[in-house]
Chain A
């Protein structure tokens, strides 16, 4: 699934590279060209790609590499490390705690999949035995409450929302209070879609956050997003205490490279990926293992011995 094609391409560039009789600057440049082209086609942020290229080049300085060092190995390791860095901020994701009400707030661009993913996540925890509820703090989008209500009803998850109240901050606070009183373990707050160019929408997000004091803010990004991802992710991070990322719509053809630039922009780990419109379509994501698997680590370690 995710990024698999990208993995294949990088892998074949790497094995091409290991077959080269002499490892010199030219061979390295060719390898980097291939890898960077693959990353750009997967929508990885141009600046991040340039950085990755620069980092590998500075690690693999041919004049400074001591004689006798296995250059192939150094280069392969540098590539692997840089790729892992793309998806692994080295931060432990938030884990809900037993015996208290964990409040999780969803934020993101319009149409990225927040409402759908809220219910998926609630369902995920519910199946694991947590007492879970949903709060609809989107008073803006037409039909938003109906959407959440219908999803929640299908999954038999308690929900809170209003057709008449127009202030999302008020609803969010009321809903969270109510479910806290009822001792719910996990309370998930859905919010409207917004973007950095609309200051008022960002202020509203800050107010909701201040009102419900979430334990974790999840930033939802769509896998098809291109080069605008970084600027948006950065702006969200500046306004909200983003702790985790969920990438949606990974069931399509998109490789999600745009969305993974949110990792660097927010310093937050990807915790799940959405893989469809149905409630079960949510997969756990773990950065390190994921990249190693994507690059067929088994094969790699074999190659590294040579």
Chain B
């Protein structure tokens, strides 16, 4: 049947010569979607080694073979390997009669304080009692920013639906100490969750990275969440590796902590250039807990892996 088509539609073997042009296109395509160049390169290299020697059938072209292979790889990288159920973890801490602690870390201006407030709103809706620890004691207005959020969060929380308070010690103080005091205060006053806001810092700024490692070492928070913006390009990789490295090198702990997961902010500003989601999960192997999609409290969503995969491959 259809044997006359055999010449074109029969099996063909994928050779490097067939694959290379398709892979070069794919690489540039991924970079254009804001995937870090290095990662796009590595993904294409592994696609090449997976596909070389495989045979394709019918009208299928090398580029569609590359696309199919890439789709599977992307989905695998983006799908969380660990549980992202914070509410369950919080209720476990509750059974142990201690507050659950989450620290928000990252470079300057990515949305740590705003998304901390969004997470707070979500926790309030789940009837929890929350303490926000103002541990950015450096940036002008950082404390007032959180105070304003606490006021607004209270205004939108109906009676008996959770509580939120601010723990602050002003500016210029040691942030590790403030976090510690906040956690003790939370324990004594039966708060369910402590959300620790930290100052933004550049990953190469050693004194500031040391201070962050100290905050983590002293307080050993239940979750260390790295806040990164979807706008970030190739820097995503360097930021995450160096934050992890600092936590490892400067903590003085025998079993140092690492980033547990990410919040990907400003997802509403990038159209379909969603590559940062891939760069971040590829670099850490850790899940994206939330995606920030705007500047109001309800703009906090779960990452839809299929949406990201589709956007990444869309021409």
Question: Separation in Å of the B312 CB from the closest CB of chain A?
Answer: 12
Interface: A110 (CB within 8 A): yes
Q: Is the CB of B38 within 8 A of A41?
A: yes
Interface: B234 (CB within 8 A): yes
Partner of B144, one of A143, A228, A231, A253: A143
Q: Is the CB of A228 within 8 A of B31?
A: no
With a cutoff of 8 Å between Cβ atoms, the chain A residues found around residue B143 in the complex are: 143
With a cutoff of 8 Å between Cβ atoms, the chain B residues found around residue A150 in the complex are: 140-141
Q: Which residue of B lies closest to A44 (CB)?
A: B233
Interface footprint category on B? 35 or more
With a cutoff of 8 Å between Cβ atoms, the chain A residues found around residue B48 in the complex are: none
Chain A interface mostly helix, strand, loop or mixed? loop
With a cutoff of 8 Å between Cβ atoms, the chain B residues found around residue A196 in the complex are: 269
Bound-state Cα–Cα, A64 to B113, Å: 59
Q: Is the CB of B110 within 8 A of A111?
A: yes
A residues 255-301 in Cβ contact with B at 8 Å? 255, 257-258, 277
Interface: A76 (CB within 8 A): no
Stretch at the interface among B1-9, B73-81, B90-98, B145-153: B145-153
Partner of B111, one of A111, A195, A198, A254: A111
Partner of B276, one of A109, A197, A226: A226
Interface: B204 (CB within 8 A): yes
Partner of B32, one of A143, A151, A227: A227
Q: Is the CB of A147 within 8 A of B234?
A: no
Q: Is the CB of B276 within 8 A of A253?
A: no
Interface: B231 (CB within 8 A): yes
Q: Is the CB of B295 within 8 A of A140?
A: yes
Q: Is the CB of A146 within 8 A of B31?
A: no
With contacts A110-B266, A225-B231, A252-B203 known, is A143 near B108, CB below 8 A? no
With contacts A41-B234, A46-B31 known, is A252 near B141, CB below 8 A? no
Q: Which residue of B lies closest to A193 (CB)?
A: B295
How does the 8 Å CB contact mask read for B258-281 relative to A, with 1 for contact and 0 for none?
A: 000000001011110101100000
Interface: B34 (CB within 8 A): yes
Question: Separation in Å of the B72 CB from the closest CB of chain A?
Answer: 24
With a cutoff of 8 Å between Cβ atoms, the chain B residues found around residue A42 in the complex are: 234
Interface: A66 (CB within 8 A): no
Q: Is the CB of B233 within 8 A of A111?
A: no
Bound-state Cα–Cα, A226 to B266, Å: 13
With contacts A195-B269, A249-B108 known, is A111 near B145, CB below 8 A? no
Q: Is the CB of B238 within 8 A of A253?
A: yes
Interface: A185 (CB within 8 A): no
Q: Is the CB of B37 within 8 A of A143?
A: no
With a cutoff of 8 Å between Cβ atoms, the chain B residues found around residue A149 in the complex are: 140-141
Question: Separation in Å of the B144 CB from the closest CB of chain A?
Answer: 4
Interface: B229 (CB within 8 A): yes
Bound-state Cα–Cα, A105 to B238, Å: 33
| A-binding residues in B (CB < 8 A) | 28, 31-34, 37-38, 107-111, 113-114, 117, 138-149, 152, 202-205, 229-236, 238-239, 242, 266, 268-271, 273, 275-276, 295
Nearest first, the 3 closest Cβ-Cβ pairs linking A and B are A226-B233, A147-B141, A143-B145
* Given A143-B145, A226-B232, 17 extra CB contacts under 8 A: A109-B266, A111-B266, A141-B145, A142-B113, A145-B141, A146-B144, A147-B140, A197-B271, A224-B231, A225-B232, A226-B231, A227-B273, A229-B231, A253-B238, A253-B242, A255-B234, A257-B233
